[in-house]
Amino acid sequence: MELHVFPDPILTKPCADVEIGDKSVLPILDEMAEKLYEWSGAGLAAPQVGILKKLVVIDVRDEPPVLYKMINPKIIWKSDELIESREGCLSLPLLRETVKRHEKVKVEYFDTNFQKQILEAEDFLSCCIQHELDHLKGTLYIDRLSRIKYTRAVNKFHKLQQSGGANLDDTDEE
């Protein structure tokens, strides 16, 4: 499994539903979880490893830590309240930007036994779920920025790649 990095076009493609009971996705989720820890991410969506299926793994390092392996996740409720979420993405190394997210969401998904689960999440976990589910639609968090901030973020991303983060400018330029 290789990490696909912006501007790889696979990151812009929508994912297909997994057939319920299709056990071929289980080893994919296992390997995605391994990569999540290896790459020190909070979440990883299948397109980021080149697979256009609705699969997500998340571990936001709560105490105690919980690893979620989600098949066909979808948000079934979101709070009206929005919060500012300072985000990064394994597919956009070194870049961090602030986007608006719903403070709370309810997500429905199938677990690795193909049992339907509903998870209510808030704050960082909620933002992480929204970020990962966006990947399944081919949306990156920078796509949620205004056009001018998007252009600025992409320019900053390319500069960060060239400098290896040496001149990491983490200040907002709003």
Judged by CB under 5 A, the stretch of 54-62, 84-92, 113-121, 157-165 that binds Zn ion is 84-92
Tokens of 128: 């992480």
Helix (H, G, I), strand (E, B) or coil at 172: coil
Nearer to Zn ion by Cβ, of 41 and 72: the residue is 41
Helix (H, G, I), strand (E, B) or coil at 40: coil
In the complex, least distance from residue 20 CB atom to Zn ion, rounded to whole angstroms: 25
- Of 11-50, binders to Zn ion (CB under 5 A) are none
Do you find a cis peptide bond into 47, omega within 30 degrees of 0?
no
Q: Write down how long the chain is.
A: 174
Q: Which of 18, 13, 6, 14 is nearest to 55 (CA)?
A: 18
Q: Does 89 bind Zn ion (CB under 5 A)?
A: yes
| Summary count for the chain: helices (H), strands (E) | 3, 7
Nearer to Zn ion by Cβ, of 98 and 114: the residue is 98
Nearest-angstrom CA–CA distance, 54 and 22: 12
Contact 22, 11 (CB under 8 A): no
Catalytic hit among 19, 120, 132, 173: 132
Q: How far is CA 150 from CA 7, 68, 83, 96, 130, in A?
A: 13, 30, 19, 12, 18
- In the chain, the amino acid numbered 67 is L
Nearer to Zn ion by Cβ, of 55 and 89: the residue is 89
Judged by CB under 5 A, the stretch of 63-71, 89-97, 110-118, 166-174 that binds Zn ion is 89-97
Nearer to Zn ion by Cβ, of 89 and 153: the residue is 89
**Is 132 a residue of the active site?**
yes
Judged by CB under 5 A, the stretch of 20-28, 69-77, 83-91, 118-126 that binds Zn ion is 83-91
Q: Contact residues for Zn ion (CB under 5 A)?
A: 89
Catalytic sites, residue numbers? 132
